Amino acid sequence: MRATAEETTRRIGPYGIERYLGRDGFAGRHLGRDRDGVPAVVTVPRVSGGGGRRVRRELARDVEAARIATRYGPARVLAADLDADIPWVATEYIEGPTLLEAVRRHGPLGGEELHKLALGTSSALSVLHWFGLVHGDLTPSNVVLAPDAARVTGAGFARAFAAVRPDLAARAATPAYTAPEHLPGAEPRPQEDVYAWAAVMAFAATGREPHGRPDIPADPSARPPAGAVMEKLREVVPRCMSGDPERRLTSERLMVSVVAACTRGRVRRPEARLSSAPPTVPGPRTEPRRPLTPFRFDGCPHGSPYALAGAMHVAPKRAADLFADVQERGRLLSWLSLEVRDTSLDRRALAARFHRPADAAAMFVAHFRPDLAAGLS
């Protein structure tokens, strides 16, 4: 079978093309390298035929939003030129198999692997929806299992094509991951992304494409936090695959619910840790013990992260304001490191992974008070 011109292309924009990766209903994908040798996935959207100019215009708008949104979790948009003779969008190349490849080769995921998948995909959807984007094509082929986290790829095309070329959008849909209320060729909605997320998780846990109400198997051997994640998925996945979109969680609540499950069984109150220590006979002291300096939030001192998280839960707007202020956030992280000496919280996640200050506050509460965060689901 002769190779097509698309498959034998050697250069697209500033990228030298190494090999053709394949195509879906929206675009063809290539592995390329820029002049510095940095790899990227170079995507060429299908803009020929009717509405080509408008497709480019709609894509340019969504790709610009995706360029900002993907700094915080999904595969990053690096560059784009949608006015070129061959329009292209370059995204971060992520080493690792897709979820589809991993499950086909090695079977269903469980334990820590499923835990990482739930975290990475739910946070990516929350970020995309905050920036007004809808993925619209979330399937196991669009999730890459990188060594450090599961990464969502392929964001930024579905809405633009549905707006201009509903015929292409209808053909690109994958039935097993498409919400029942979705009309062929219609613009995707955030609730449909949540349905697709649940279907992807059901596939990852069972190795089968979901049909009807999914049954996530129990894993009695899984240790915390993975065991709690399995328990939460058995509750959340069927709800998010409900035929009624209003019964599904929003992507933000979904993310917080998964984060809370990930910390359940692992976080302890500082007071409980101290009181559970075996009694010892104190030796002679040469200097007075330095008391823990409380952290002031909302006008009151709080002597532990547990207490502080409870206060943030009661005053979420003020908590979001704290995380929006770079100096205040730095003061909190310094207090955790120097005073509390807590190393369990991912500082980089608070600073960068979630764009909205409210998301960072929710993650803080979910980490130190999972009993409160779980109520958000």
- Banded model confidence at residue 219, pLDDT cuts 50, 70, 90: low
Single-letter code of the amino acid located at 110:
G
CATH class of 99-263: mainly alpha
The boundaries of every CATH 1.10.510.10 domain in the chain are 99-263
The reported pLDDT for the residue numbered 23 is 76
Catalytic residue among 137, 193, 219, 359: 137
The per-residue pLDDT for 16 is: 95
**Contact yes or no for 120/255 (Cβ under 8 A):** no
Query: How distant, in Å, are the alpha carbons of 43, 154, 197, 355 from that of 140?
Result: 18, 11, 9, 25
pLDDT: is 143 or 286 the higher one?
Answer: 143
For the ranges 163-167, 212-216, 281-285, the maximum mean pLDDT occurs at 163-167
Q: What is the pLDDT of residues 273-308, one digit of tens each?
A: 333 444 444 344 333 344 578 999 999 999 888 889
Proportion of the chain above pLDDT 70, given as a percent: 73
For residue 49, what pLDDT band results from cuts at 50, 70 and 90?
low
Bridge partners (DSSP) listed for residue 17: 32
- Residue limits of CATH 3.30.200.20 in the chain: 13-92
Residue range 13-92 forms a domain whose CATH class is: alpha beta
> Quick one: which of 190, 173, 209 has its CA closest to 100?
209
Q: Tell me how long the chain is.
A: 377
148 is known as an active-site residue: no
**Maximum alpha-carbon separation in the chain:** 85
pLDDT in tens, 184-200: 778 889 999 999 999 99
Q: pLDDT averaged over the chain?
A: 78
Give the torsion through C-alpha atoms of 15, 18, 22, 23, to 10 deg.
Answer: 10
pLDDT in tens, 51-109: 677 778 888 888 887 887 777 678 888 999 988 888 899 999 999 999 999 999 999 99
- Tokens coding 93: 């190349």
Q: Cis ω on the peptide bond leading into residue 225 (within 30° of 0)? A: yes
- Model pLDDT, residue 262: 64
pLDDT top residue among 137 and 278:
137
Which H or E run includes 88? strand 88-92
